[in-house]
Amino acid sequence: NAGVMQNPRHLVRRRGQEARLRCSPMKGHSHVYWYRQLPEEGLKFMVYLQKENIIDESGMPKERFSAEFPKEGPSILRIQQVVRGDSAAYFCASSNSGADTEAFFGQGTRLTVV
Amino acid sequence: EDQVTQSPEALRLQEGESSSLNCSYTVSGLRGLFWYRQDPGKGPEFLFTLYSAGEEKEKERLKATLTKKESFLHITAPKPEDSATYLCAVQAVTSGTYKYIFGTGTRLKVLA
């Protein structure tokens, strides 16, 4: 009965490289949310996806960031041409329905851009 | 604009000293209010869901309550292992989506 799995747990990228963060939701969950957290700050919403659909990407930066949740496989958050300001913890959460239910979080991926 | 505000930002308690954390919210179409606990370097751990004013939930030393404008997380006789950041989130129907909006949390330190 695995929970939400994120990998890698830690990721170091040089400026200009690409970062790919993976999230496998809990079994039976088809709704995925990505959040970003800076030290001493709260969780900032980035994107909400269902299988093969982006439902709400209002928190995603317009450039360099993209997300997908294919029919098969994990959800991917992709950051192209990373900059130092992208360094943060990125958390994924999943739920079994869109509304009226709690979301469960993974342990996060800590991205460091050097 | 949907908003969640938590207070205090930080709280230090002696072991056994009960207290309450506050979460006030301004949202349109509240679908649920959620409490999470987050330990350093880890993901948020789900604690409670509250759906309607007057509802209460309890788990060990924690009790969550909900009114129309705020929620409280009461901690009774806390222990050092209760030290963590406690996060409040609301789910609201905004533009047809169901994103969770988080407050910035209350950092709780319980001293032995």
At residue B95, does pLDDT exceed 70?
A: no
For residue B100, the SS3 value is: strand
Q: Which residues of A touch B46 (CB under 8 A)?
A: 102-105
pLDDT of residue B97: 80
Share of chain B above pLDDT 90, in %: 85
- pLDDT by residue (tens digit) across A71-95? 999 999 999 999 999 999 999 999 9
At residue A1, does pLDDT exceed 70?
A: no
pLDDT band per the 50, 70, 90 thresholds, residue B93: confident
- pLDDT by residue (tens digit) across B6-40? 999 999 999 999 999 999 999 888 889 999 999 99
Cβ separation of A42 and B49 shorter than 8 Å? no
Cβ separation of B99 and A35 shorter than 8 Å? no
pLDDT, mean over chain A? 94
Share of chain B above pLDDT 70, in %: 97
Q: Which residues of A touch B99 (CB under 8 A)?
A: 33, 45, 48, 56, 58-59
Q: How far apart are CA A114 and CA B2, in angstroms?
A: 35
- pLDDT by residue (tens digit) across A13-59? 999 999 999 999 999 999 999 999 998 788 999 999 999 999 999 99
